[in-house]
Homo-oligomer: A and B are copies of this chain.
Amino acid sequence: MSSYPRKIINDPIYGFITIDEPLLFQIINHPWYQRLRRIYQMAMAQMVYPGAVHTRLHHSLGAYHLICLALNELKAKGIEITPAECTAAKAAILLHDIGHGPFSHALEHVLVPGVHHESLGLQIMQNLDEEFDGKLETAISIFTNQYSKLYLHQLISGQLDVDRMDYLTRDSFFTGVSEGVIGYDRILKMLTVYEGQLMVEEKGIYSVEKFLVARRQMYWQVYLHKTVLAAEKMIVKIIERAREIYALNNDLKLNATLDYFFKEYYDMNDEALYNFCLLDDYDVMFAIKKWSNHQDIVLSTLCTALLNRKLYKCKLQTHAFDENEVDEKRRQLAMKMNISQEEAGYFVFTGEAMNTTYTLKDERINIISKSGIFTDISQVDDPLIHKTLSMPVKKFYICQFVYSA
């Protein structure tokens, strides 16, 4: 029996995921990648869907599995993709979420204000590339859409990429919400390349339709579920309050890596990046446990509430809330809790929940007919798709804390 370097990983969705290239092992074994094992894929969704505790590591392995299938499919259709390009695309998808911090989207822009996870991801990849002697060069070029074969980038980041395919499938699986099930295997079978662009064959149109509808439903039923939203806003408010306290006295009683990110100003220089790569959900959750005894009543109340699942009462609607009524609620709570009107803003507030699905302008799903003519999906003569794409993507929410002395 010949020896070969290969590892198979059990996945409850796809069965087995196979890793069989040295560079991919190198990535997966890196502490920065292993860190993703300690970051929830769905942040606080587990407060509503107890099964939704899968990790960023698991999702990126899943997306990697799908890109393997997609690349095989394209090659079987005669598209020429070199082994080096395959490896690079696989490396890029493994690393596509490497820039996520604790609680992923929920704390994005909050813990590291003003920095998007993709830009952080790029910085991390460049660091890794140096450590790996330039072996990630092509992967980075694909990731940043500078590689000549555009479809490789589109597989990783586009309206119908393996990222979305995996997270819809995986989130639907772990939450148990059947509404999000998509026919990822059928879509993969329908992929092709035409004039350098990723396309879907015409007969895959119903699967794409299903994909768009499923995605929309996952947004409103899961990602922006009112109680999930409430929990995620609570963790945001906790960090905001902590920042405020830190600004006053430079101490959060943590004495931990997390402190670094409360400093008034820092560049995302190498020191910051290395510190960032030490963070995961455990740091934040430990801080919350610690702060549940903090002397600041706002901070400790929020932390205790989150730990014990006493979440905000949240309501969503299609029009804005009356700010006078909101003010009044805030005033009443301030009195009840004996805090300032300003502090009450941590307990009663409004905002907008966005279904960010279709807002990116430069990405589109291309459909190709048998005759070789292609169109963007928004031009396709299918009223359901048309409608789904043009539907309102914003709702207004109010969060209110239910105080009991």
- Which residues of A41-77 are within 8 A (CB) of B? 46, 48-51, 53-55, 57-58, 61, 76-77
Nearest residue, chain B, Cβ from A174: B12
> Given that A183-B179, A384-B216 are known contacts, is A78 also in contact with B4, CB under 8 Å in the complex?
yes
- Which residues of A269-311 are within 8 A (CB) of B? 278, 282-283, 285-286, 289-290, 307-309
From B1, B309, B318, give the contact of A381 (CB < 8 A): B318
Q: In the complex, which residues of chain B have a beta carbon less than 8 angstroms from the beta carbon of A217?
A: 206, 209-210
B182 touches A372 (CB 8 A): no
Number of copies: 4
A9 touches B50 (CB 8 A): yes
Most B Cβ at <10 Å: residue of A34, A183, A309: A183
Kindly state whether residue A404 has any CB partner on chain B within 8 Å. Answer: no
Stretch at the interface among A85-93, A184-192, A237-245, A334-342: A184-192
Question: In the complex the two chains form, what is the Cα distance from A51 to B12 in whole Å?
Answer: 7
Kindly state whether residue A146 has any CB partner on chain B within 8 Å. Answer: no
Kindly state whether residue A175 has any CB partner on chain B within 8 Å. Answer: yes
A176 touches B11 (CB 8 A): yes
Please tell me the number of chain A residues within 8 Å of chain B, measured between CB atoms. 82
Question: In the complex the two chains form, what is the Cα distance from A368 to B1 in whole Å?
Answer: 8
Question: In the complex the two chains form, what is the Cα distance from A183 to B38 in whole Å?
Answer: 29
Closest approach, in angstroms, between the C-beta of A256 and any C-beta of chain B? 7
Kindly state whether residue A199 has any CB partner on chain B within 8 Å. Answer: yes
Q: List 13 A-B contacts (CB under 8 A).
A: A4-B76, A12-B51, A20-B76, A50-B57, A179-B183, A209-B217, A213-B213, A216-B384, A255-B255, A257-B289, A286-B286, A383-B391, A384-B387
| Given A46-B55, A50-B61, 4 extra CB contacts under 8 A | A10-B177, A15-B176, A50-B58, A178-B186
